[in-house]
């Protein structure tokens, strides 16, 4: 290519980009006839907007700082990346105003080409666009996890928790692995009637890869293809297209995750060996294979089973890891909880019926969810139509981010928000209903997109924490000189955040509790 041709190509490309930017500017002006100002935010550049400012590592912390720096009213911060407008909501009041009071306009999701169109994770209703197809998923899921039915899973949750205690007794250093096994095995049994052994966890490993994919891909700004969807047509072999190779790799795991256990249950049903579960209940309701509705009903039912696993596993594992960390860091909290348990249980293991008599344990469940938020930015919503809020203009298609981390670490609501203090949820020895409940934000989501599995997750947290504290002491690990190794209470990056790796000692409280653990169920 000659210099003249190269210069012409550069000028044409620049002209096209500027024309694209100018057309977007004109469109925005037409859609805002009253000339309302955009919400405050960092200064943007032409064309690229705030691309250079966009935080890519733990963005909730940067967004929290922006809320303190730029907000004038309404806790709304605006920025733009390559023509895509974003808004960050930094308070519970603003998330309530938009996601709850105006839910019909703020319940949609962004396009997310990387996740849905390339990786093919359209089986996950969390990322589906708002509409009839999403509502059908939601209704079907709710059928198996609404608050009046989750008690049917209590016995299974107790049994898997006690198996967790026994595994900790054998190999306490593998507490994270055992926690994953406990929650994965519970939800797999509920969804598919599957029992996983310690030796064969192939499906769980597939699930871990899928969850890791979600954590990396959903974060706003994580992949440029989400800003320029046309990039999805770039072949994987082109230099610099490593992101496309990742997508192809993840797509294989996504397909296995959604289809493999569903087909496994179908095969078991034909052989007469299937265990009663959500999958068998849904398969029994499918229309005849010759029916024109069969394929769509089959896909819907398959999707609900798959998403029940992701929802049931991710949140619980992260919160329990944070719980272990908190116990090692705050021994005085551990002692208070154990005293309450000893007074109520009298030397036996806990049951769900004990919950009303264990306010401190219930406060620990809440504080564990608040202290280290599993999904600090939840999953972003999208404005279906242009709107006005607090005198500001919100363009159609704006991605709306509720900063759950800011909401659950607001010092005006939670004194010393970085500290682990279950007492903040108690008053006169009882749960204080006037204190902001962490379920208003975080991994439970907002508005119509709030997680329908939250009641099941809450039960999982309670029964696990009560069991752990009743029989074990959690302390920091020791170095070679016998000194405690300091623990830094940090969280990983990603839309799903986990405690950064740490070690601790898990010690039976007494010889009596060792026997209690060993006799808590059949040998594993």
Residue that the structure tokens 């210069």 belong to:
7
Whether the CB-CB separation of 441 and 95 falls below 8 Å is answered with yes
Phi-psi region of 240 (alpha: psi -120 to 50; beta: other; left: phi over 0): left
- Name the β-bridge partners of 86: 79, 399
- Name the β-bridge partners of 373: none
Whether the CB-CB separation of 304 and 142 falls below 8 Å is answered with no
On whether 451 is known to bind a ligand per the annotation, the reply is: yes
For 324, the enclosing helix (H) or strand (E) is: helix 294-329
- CA 99 to CA 465: how far, in whole Å? 32
For 257, the enclosing helix (H) or strand (E) is: helix 242-271
Using DSSP, state whether 474 is helix, strand or coil.
strand
Whether the CB-CB separation of 318 and 374 falls below 8 Å is answered with yes
Q: Which structure tokens are listed for 272?
A: 């007469």
Q: Which structure tokens are listed for 352?
A: 């769900």
- CA 159 to CA 136: how far, in whole Å? 32
- In what order do the strands lie in the sheet containing 76-81? 76-81, 84-89, 399-402, 381-382
279 contacts: CB under 8 Å, gap ≥ 6: 191, 192, 193, 261, 262, 265, 301, 305
- CA 130 to CA 402: how far, in whole Å? 17
Among 265, 164, 240, 253, residue whose Cα is nearest residue 206:
253
Q: Which residues are documented as binding site for heme?
A: 451
User: Annotated binding site, which residues?
Assistant: 451
């Amino acid at each position: 290519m000659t210099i003249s041709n190269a210069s012409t190509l550069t000028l044409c490309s620049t002209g096209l980009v500027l024309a694209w930017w100018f057309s977007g500017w004109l469109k925005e002006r037409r859609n805002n006839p009253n000339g309302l100002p955009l919400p405050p935010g960092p200064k943007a550049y032409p064309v690229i907007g705030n691309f250079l400012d966009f935080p890519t590592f733990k963005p909730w912390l940067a967004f929290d700082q922006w809320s303190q720096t730029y907000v004038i009213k309404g806790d709304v911060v605006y920025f733009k990346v390559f023509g895509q407008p974003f808004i960050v909501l930094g308070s519970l009041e603003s998330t309530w105003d938009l996601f709850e009071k105006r839910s019909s306009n703020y319940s949609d999701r962004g396009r997310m080409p990387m996740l849905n169109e390339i990786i093919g994770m359209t089986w996950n209703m969390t990322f589906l666009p708002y509409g009839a197809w999403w509502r059908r998923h939601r209704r079907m899921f709710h059928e198996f996890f609404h608050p009046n039915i989750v008690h049917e899973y209590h016995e299974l949750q107790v049994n898997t928790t006690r198996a967790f205690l026994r595994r900790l007794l054998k190999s306490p250093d593998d507490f994270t692995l055992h926690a994953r096994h406990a929650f994965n095995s519970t939800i797999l049994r509920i969804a598919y009637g599957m029992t996983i052994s310690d030796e064969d966890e192939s499906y769980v490993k597939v699930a871990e890869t899928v969850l890791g994919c979600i954590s990396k891909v959903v974060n706003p700004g994580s992949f440029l293809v989400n800003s320029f969807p046309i990039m999805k047509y770039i072949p994987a072999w082109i230099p610099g297209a490593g992101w496309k190779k990742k997508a192809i790799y993840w797509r294989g795991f996504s397909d296995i995750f959604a289809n493999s256990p569903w087909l496994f249950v179908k095969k078991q049903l034909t052989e007469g060996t299937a265990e009663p579960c959500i999958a068998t209940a849904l398969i029994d309701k499918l229309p005849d294979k010759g029916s024109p509705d069969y394929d769509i009903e089959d896909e819907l039912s398959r999707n609900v089973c798959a998403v029940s696993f992701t929802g049931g596993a991710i949140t619980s594992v992260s919160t329990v890891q944070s719980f272990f960390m908190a116990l090692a860091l705050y021994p005085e909290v551990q002692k208070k909880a154990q005293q309450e348990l000893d007074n109520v249980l009298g030397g036996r293991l806990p049951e769900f019926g004990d919950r009303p008599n264990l306010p401190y344990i219930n406060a620990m469940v809440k504080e564990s969810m608040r202290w280290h938020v599993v999904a600090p930015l939840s999953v972003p919503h999208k404005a279906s139509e242009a709107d006005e809020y607090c005198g500001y203009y919100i363009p159609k298609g704006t991605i709306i981010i509720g900063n759950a981390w800011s909401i659950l670490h607001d010092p005006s609501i939670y004194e010393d928000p970085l500290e682990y203090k279950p007492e903040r949820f108690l008053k006169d020895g009882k749960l204080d209903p006037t204190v902001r409940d962490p379920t208003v934000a975080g991994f439970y989501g907002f508005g119509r997109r709030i997680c329908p599995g939250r009641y099941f997750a809450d039960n999982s947290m309670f029964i696990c924490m009560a069991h752990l504290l009743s029989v074990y002491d959690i302390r920091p690990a020791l170095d070679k000189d016998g000194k405690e190794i300091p623990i830094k209470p940090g969280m990983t990056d990603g839309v799903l955040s986990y405690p950064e790796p740490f070690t601790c000692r898990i010690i039976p409280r007494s010889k009596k509790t060792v026997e209690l653990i060993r006799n808590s169920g059949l040998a594993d």
